[in-house]
C-alpha cells in the first residue's frame, strides 16, 4: 500500500467516524438498545482501523527512509569514487597511496559494476597472466 492509498483510507475512515458519531447522537432518541449498541461498536471499530492505518503510515515512512539510506550505501559500494586504472590494472587510490598492489577485475567492474579482487595465479607469471578473477575467471 503506497502512502497516497494510506492517506486516502485515513480520510475515508475519518468521514465514516463522522457519520457514525452523527448516527450515535440520533440513536440516543431510539429506544432499541441493540441498535444503539451496534452504532457504538461500529464507532469503536472505525477508530481502531484508523489507529492501525496511522501505524502503517508511520512504518511506511520509516521503511522509505531506510530504503533510501540502503540504496545510497549500495551505490557507494558498487561505484567506488577512488577507482584508478594504472598499467591496465583497476586499483583503489587508497591502496596506491599506501603502495599496496591490490588489483580488481576491470571486466567485472565494466560489465556488472562489481569489484572482485584478483587472485595471484600459482605459479605466478603464467603464460595466461599473473592474476585471475574469481568471478569471470579471466586472466590478467
Q: Which of residues 100-139 bind Zn ion (CB under 5 A)?
A: 105, 107-108, 133, 135-136
Pick between residue 13 and residue 133 the one whose CB is nearest to Zn ion.
Answer: 133
Q: Quick check: helix, strand or coil at residue 105?
A: coil
Shortest CB 110 distance to Zn ion, Å:
9
Structural contact between residues 123 and 136, judged by C-beta atoms closer than 8 angstroms: no
Distance, in Å, from the CA atom of 86 to the CA atom of 12, rounded to the nearest integer, reads 63
Shortest CB 134 distance to Zn ion, Å:
8
Shortest CB 56 distance to Zn ion, Å:
44
Pick between residue 27 and residue 132 the one whose CB is nearest to Zn ion.
Answer: 132
Pick between residue 15 and residue 120 the one whose CB is nearest to Zn ion.
Answer: 120
* Binding footprint of Zn ion, residue count (CB under 5 A): 6
Structural contact between residues 35 and 71, judged by C-beta atoms closer than 8 angstroms: no
Q: Report the sign of the C-alpha dihedral through residues 112, 106, 116, 137, in that order.
A: positive
Is residue 6 a contact residue for Zn ion (CB under 5 A)? no
Closest residue by Cα to residue 102 from 120, 79, 76, 81: 120
The DSSP 8-state label assigned to residue 104 in this structure reads: B
Pick between residue 13 and residue 108 the one whose CB is nearest to Zn ion.
Answer: 108
Quick note: the x/- pattern for Zn ion over 48-87, rule CB under 5 A, is: ----------------------------------------
Distance, in Å, from the CA atom of 98 to the CA atom of 93, rounded to the nearest integer, reads 9
Q: Which residue ranges make up the site for Zn ion (CB under 5 A)?
A: 105, 107-108, 133, 135-136
Amino acid at each position: 500500500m503506497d502512502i497516497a492509498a494510506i492517506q486516502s483510507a485515513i480520510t475515508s475512515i475519518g468521514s465514516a467516524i463522522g457519520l457514525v458519531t452523527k448516527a450515535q447522537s440520533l440513536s440516543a432518541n431510539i429506544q432499541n438498545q441493540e441498535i444503539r449498541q451496534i452504532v457504538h461498536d461500529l464507532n469503536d471499530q472505525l477508530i481502531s482501523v484508523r489507529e492501525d492505518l496511522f501505524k502503517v503510515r508511520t512504518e511506511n515512512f520509516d521503511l522509505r527512509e531506510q530504503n533510501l539510506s540502503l540504496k545510497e550505501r549500495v551505490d557507494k559500494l558498487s561505484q567506488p569514487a577512488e577507482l584508478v586504472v594504472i598499467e591496465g590494472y583497476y586499483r583503489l587510490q587508497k591502496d596506491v597511496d599506501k603502495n599496496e598492489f591490490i588489483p580488481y577485475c576491470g571486466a567485472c567492474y565494466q560489465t556488472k559494476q562489481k569489484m572482485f579482487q584478483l587472485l595471484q595465479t600459482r605459479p605466478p607469471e603464467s603464460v595466461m597472466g599473473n592474476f585471475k578473477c574469481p568471478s569471470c575467471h579471466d586472466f590478467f
